[in-house]
């Protein structure tokens, strides 16, 4: 592949940012996760049920399968005033809270779930913002802190910073596929205690942007660590439905916590986040997600409800769609076959594209990519010289890639400063020809960049 690129692309090294004519007609965004925009088709069952919910006259339209109409009828009845046009309670529709609780209990093989501990909100970041308000509520010094993975989801630092919370990073081990490392957690908590009051630890599982999936042993270690250090667990589990690595099993933090027995189950506080935008539906436009609080003090729960009541109910269509995401058609129902086929197609596409991107990126000189086995990002490391004056080397790389080839990828420094190690963040999850070609354009740029930077004006060599 490398040879192919060398022979088929002209290595035009005209300086960037000059307003020169471009060789591309359209910018391809390879770093924003938005599957339907990239051609991943929506799920028919979801489309149909929501159409009927919006226009209940369709309840008697036999062109819609019986389970579509039955589901829509139940969802309409669950709305205040039996209409999607009404406000809901601030924490969400009571029926949907119960349906989410049913899903969690089924997923976790019987672990009990209290529907009152489920807070429906318009997406992951909104619920996380609410949690940061809870964590930042104490007055005075020292500043509260949260242990965050390095690399972290690229908007995490901003959300914590806005709440006045200090982020203290713990490094994930790239050499073992971005695994969590207990010694590193212990180093991080010592650092934290020197500069703030650590309150919580944030974990993404599957990893964002790393694509790692933790095994049960690793989760147990983190839970024991959190228990010993009295840290609240903030667990981003939004990609739980999109685990695609061969033989990889995802298990929830809550399930592991329960299985560890009363000492932990009754002692460790946790928030688990989920989102409609992720999963294999990729319904980003409806804005819905939920947070489950586990073991949280009663008084904190009251404060959480008060905070939520200062917001108005999240949009109803998204709340209804959560039911469909989490409680899909069953084998006995007429929509089951099509639903299953669509979901499996989306999963197969994701799997194939993550593998293809991984192999391609690893084939490039100066680039190495750990396998991504969950979620939607790959996060290759790219060998770059030290930072140029005022600009991180990876940021410069991304800027030039955009200027030269019209391909937009995320600079790893947005996911936290890894001190001279550089990465790129890509979402290869759809397989349109445009996106396939964008990877090739990235490869061509990469070769040109490697050729030129050591003697070029942009970057200093290390």
Shortest distance (Å) from residue 229 CB to a second copy: 31
- CA 350 – CA 81 distance, rounded (Å): 40
Cis geometry, peptide bond prior to residue 209 (ω within 30 degrees of 0): yes
Q: Which of 125, 382, 151 is nearest to 274 (CA)?
A: 125
Per CB under 8 A, the list member of 177, 267, 315, 334 interacting with a second copy is 315
| Closer by beta carbon to a second copy, 125 or else 339 | 125
For residue 264, state whether it binds a second copy (rule: CB under 8 A): no
- CA 323 – CA 326 distance, rounded (Å): 5
Per CB under 8 A, the list member of 75, 148, 286, 354 interacting with a second copy is 286
For residue 312, state whether it binds a second copy (rule: CB under 8 A): yes
Using DSSP's 3-state secondary structure scheme, residue 175 falls into helix
The runs of H, that is alpha helices, within 2-108 are 2-8, 44-54, 66-78, 94-107
Both structure tokens of 30: 């390879």
Angle between helices 94-107 and 66-78 (to 10 degrees): 120
Cis geometry, peptide bond prior to residue 142 (ω within 30 degrees of 0): yes
| Closer by beta carbon to a second copy, 16 or else 315 | 315
For residue 54, state whether it binds a second copy (rule: CB under 8 A): yes
Alpha carbon 171 to chain centroid, angstroms: 18
Per CB under 8 A, the list member of 28, 30, 50, 118 interacting with a second copy is 50
For residue 334, state whether it binds a second copy (rule: CB under 8 A): no
Q: Count of H helices and E strands in the chain?
A: 15, 13
Shortest distance (Å) from residue 320 CB to a second copy: 10
| Closer by beta carbon to a second copy, 45 or else 178 | 45
Shortest distance (Å) from residue 36 CB to a second copy: 4
Per CB under 8 A, the list member of 281, 304, 398, 409 interacting with a second copy is 281
Shortest distance (Å) from residue 49 CB to a second copy: 9
Both structure tokens of 97: 């809270």
| Residue 449 contacts residue 397 (beta carbons within 8 Å) | yes
Q: Map residues 29-48 to x or -, x wherever contact with a second copy holds by CB under 8 A.
A: ---x-x-xxxx--x----xx
102 to 131, contacts with a second copy by CB under 8 A? 122-123, 125
Shortest distance (Å) from residue 179 CB to a second copy: 30
| Closer by beta carbon to a second copy, 41 or else 366 | 41
Size of residue set near a second copy by CB under 8 A: 48
Both structure tokens of 180: 């969590």
73 to 102, contacts with a second copy by CB under 8 A? 79-81, 83-88
| Residue 31 contacts residue 442 (beta carbons within 8 Å) | no
Shortest distance (Å) from residue 391 CB to a second copy: 20
| Residue 321 contacts residue 47 (beta carbons within 8 Å) | no
Q: What residues line the site for a second copy (CB under 8 A)?
A: 32, 34, 36-39, 42, 47-48, 50-52, 54-58, 61, 63, 79-81, 83-88, 122-123, 125, 158, 162, 281-287, 310, 312-318
């Amino acid at each position: 592949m490398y040879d192919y690129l060398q022979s088929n692309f002209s290595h035009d090294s005209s300086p960037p940012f000059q307003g020169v004519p471009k060789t591309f007609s359209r910018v391809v965004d390879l770093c924003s996760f938005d599957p339907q925009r990239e051609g991943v088709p929506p799920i028919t069952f979801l489309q149909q049920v929501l159409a009927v919910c919006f226009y209940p006259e369709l309840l008697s339209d036999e062109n819609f399968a019986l389970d579509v109409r039955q589901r829509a009828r139940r969802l309409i009845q669950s709305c205040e005033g039996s209409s999607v046009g009404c406000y809901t309670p601030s924490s969400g529709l009571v029926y949907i809270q119960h349906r989410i609780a049913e899903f969690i209990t089924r997923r976790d093989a019987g672990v009990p779930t209290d529907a009152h501990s489920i807070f429906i909100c318009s997406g992951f970041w909104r619920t996380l913002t609410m949690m940061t308000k809870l964590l930042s509520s104490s007055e005075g010094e020292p500043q509260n802190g949260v242990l965050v993975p390095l690399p972290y989801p690229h908007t995490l630092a901003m959300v914590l910073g806005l709440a006045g919370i200090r982020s203290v990073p713990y490094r994930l081990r790239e050499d073992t596929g971005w695994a969590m490392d207990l010694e590193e957690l212990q180093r991080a908590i010592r650092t934290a205690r020197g500069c703030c009051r650590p309150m919580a630890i944030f974990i993404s599982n599957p990893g964002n942007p790393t694509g790692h999936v933790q095994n049960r042993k690793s989760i147990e270690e983190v839970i024991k660590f959190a228990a010993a250090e009295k840290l609240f667990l903030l667990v981003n589990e939004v990609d739980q439905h999109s685990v695609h690595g061969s033989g990889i099993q995802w298990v929830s933090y809550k399930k592991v916590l329960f299985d560890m027995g009363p000492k932990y189950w009754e002692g460790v506080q946790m928030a688990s986040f989920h989102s409609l935008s992720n999963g294999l539906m990729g319904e980003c436009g409806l804005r819905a997600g939920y947070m489950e609080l586990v073991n949280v003090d009663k008084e904190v729960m009251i404060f959480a409800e008060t905070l939520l009541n200062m917001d108005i109910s999240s949009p109803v269509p998204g709340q209804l769609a959560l039911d469909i995401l989490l409680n899909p058609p069953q084998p006995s129902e007429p929509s089951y076959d099509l639903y299953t086929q669509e979901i499996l197609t989306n999963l197969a596409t994701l799997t194939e594209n993550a593998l293809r991107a991984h192999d391609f990126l690893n084939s490039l000189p100066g680039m190495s990519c750990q396998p991504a086995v969950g979620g939607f990002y790959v996060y290759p490391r790219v060998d770059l010289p030290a930072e140029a004056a005022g600009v991180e080397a990876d940021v410069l790389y991304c800027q030039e890639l955009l200027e030269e080839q019209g391909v937009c990828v995320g600079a790893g420094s947005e996911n936290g400063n890894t001190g001279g190690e550089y990465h790129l963040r890509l979402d290869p999850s759809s397989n349109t020809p445009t996106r396939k070609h964008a990877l090739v354009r990235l490869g061509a740029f990469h070769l040109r960049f490697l050729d030129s930077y050591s003697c070029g004006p942009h970057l200093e060599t290390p």
